[in-house]
Amino acid sequence: MFAHLAQLKKRYSWIWSSGWPFVVASDATPLERLRVYGLQVELAGRRAITRLIGWPLMLVCWPITSLFGAIKAARKDRSDGGTSAWEGFRKYYSAAILHNARPGDLQSLQVSSGIGAEMAPHLMYNRDSRIWQALNRVSGANGEDVQDKARFYLLARQAGLPVVPVYAAFSGGESLLPIDRAAATGSSLFVKSLRGQQGQGAAIWRWGEHDGVAGYGDGTGVYPTLDALLAALSHEDCVVQPLLVDHAALRAAGSEGLSSLRIVTVRTPEGQVQAACSLLLMAKGMLSQYGHSYAVDIHNGRLTTWLDTSEGFKRSPVAEDFALPAIPEWAALVEMVCQAHRTGFAAFSSLGWDVVLTDDGPLLLEANQGWGIMLHQVLGEPLGHTAIGTAAAAWLDHLAKR
C-alpha cells in the first residue's frame, strides 16, 4: 500500500483539511479541482501547527480509513445483491484514493439511485458546501443575508421580489422590524426560527375559538390577542408569517400543508445565473420535510422520480397517472429565482431557493447556502453534469487569472 502511495505522490498533489486529505490529478474534473480550492481557503484560516502536523498525519490516515470504508461498502453490496466483494472493494477504494470519494456515500448512492462509483469524479458531497461558501467570501457575500430570515425578507422586498411577508421578527427580545398588526390581527400565523434550519422552531397559531376561548391557539395554549401572542413570541428568536395554503394542483396531488419547491441556482464570475436542479418537497402535515420528495426536471418542470422511503430510501419513477405531472408555470418560476439571484443576492455563487406555490401565485420563502447536495443526486443525476459543473469550470478560469 505504501509503495502505491509513493507512486500517487509523484502524480498527485495532496492537501489536508479537517480530517480529509485531497488529491488532484491533471485530468480532474472542474468539481474536483474546485473542491480543493475550497479546502485551501479553509486551511488558510487554520493554525500553523494544524497545517504542519495534519498533512503528514492524514497522508497516511486517509488511505487507511478509506480502506476500511471500502471493505464495509463492498460487504454491504454483497449482502444486498450477491455481487463480488472484491470487485466492490476495488471500485470503492479506487474512487476514494483517486477522487476523494467516501466509500459509504458511493455505496448509498448505488443502492438508492443506481449511480455507480465510476461517477465519482462528477459527484458532490455534503462537505462540498464549503466550495461555494469559499466562493461567496471571494465575492463578498454576507451569509446573514440568507441565514437571517428577517434580513432575507427585507432584502427581497427592497429588490422588488415576490416574497412571503414577515409580520414580525424578534431576536434577543427585541423587535427587528415594524410589526404589521393590521395584516396579522385575526389571521392564522406560522412561526419559525429566525436562523434555524429543517423547520426548527416551527409552530402554527390558528385564529379562532379553542375550547370555548377565542384567540390564537396551537393546541397547547391560547392567547386572546395578537399583542399577547407577540409578547410570548418575543422571547424567542423567530419570524411570524401568514399561514399559507398550497396551490390547488398540489392539494389535488396529496399535499396536506405548505409544500416547498427547492430550486438551486448558480452564478458565474461574470454574473450569469442559471438554474441547475430542483426538488419538490410535498408536505404531509405541518412541514414539507415530513412529506415526499420528488425530482423536478429543470428544463420543463416535470416530476421525474420520487424517494420511496418504504423501500429503504430508493429512487422510483413517478407514476404516469400521478395527479401532478409537472409544476405549473415552470418557466416563470425558474426566471423568478434567477432574477432574485441576479438582483437581490448577486454576491452568492450558489443558492437553494425555497419557493411556495399558492393559488395567488408563487412566493419566495427563503434562500439557503446549504441546499441538500446528496438528495438532489439521489433523485436526479451527478451534479457535475448540471449547470453546476459548467459554473465550476468558469470559476476555475476566473480564479486562475487572479
pLDDT in tens, 85-102: 888 899 999 998 888 888
pLDDT in tens, 319-371: 999 999 999 999 999 999 999 999 999 999 999 999 999 999 999 999 999 89
Contacts of 175 (CB under 8 A, 6+ apart): 168, 169, 234
Q: Which grid cell is 106?
A: 458511493
Query: 169: part of which helix (H) or strand (E)?
Result: strand 168-171
Amino acid occupying residue 360: D
Walk along the chain (402 residues) and give the pLDDT tens digit of each residue.
Answer: 444 444 444 444 444 333 344 556 667 899 988 887 877 776 666 777 766 766 666 677 888 889 999 999 999 988 877 678 888 899 999 998 888 888 999 999 999 999 999 999 999 988 888 888 888 888 899 999 999 999 999 999 999 999 999 999 999 999 999 999 999 999 999 999 999 776 677 899 999 999 888 999 988 889 999 999 999 999 999 999 999 999 999 999 999 889 999 999 999 999 999 999 999 999 887 665 667 999 999 999 999 999 988 777 899 999 999 999 999 999 999 999 999 999 999 999 999 999 999 999 999 999 999 898 999 999 999 999 999 999 999 999 988 887
Q: Of 376, 214, 244, 220, which Cα lies nearest the Cα of 298? A: 376
The model's pTM is: 0.90
Which whole-number Å values give the CA distances from 149 to 168, 175, 177, 200, 297, in the listed order?
11, 13, 12, 12, 28
CB 24 within 8 A of CB 36: yes
Strands (E), 218-259: 222-223, 238-242
CB 368 within 8 A of CB 136: no
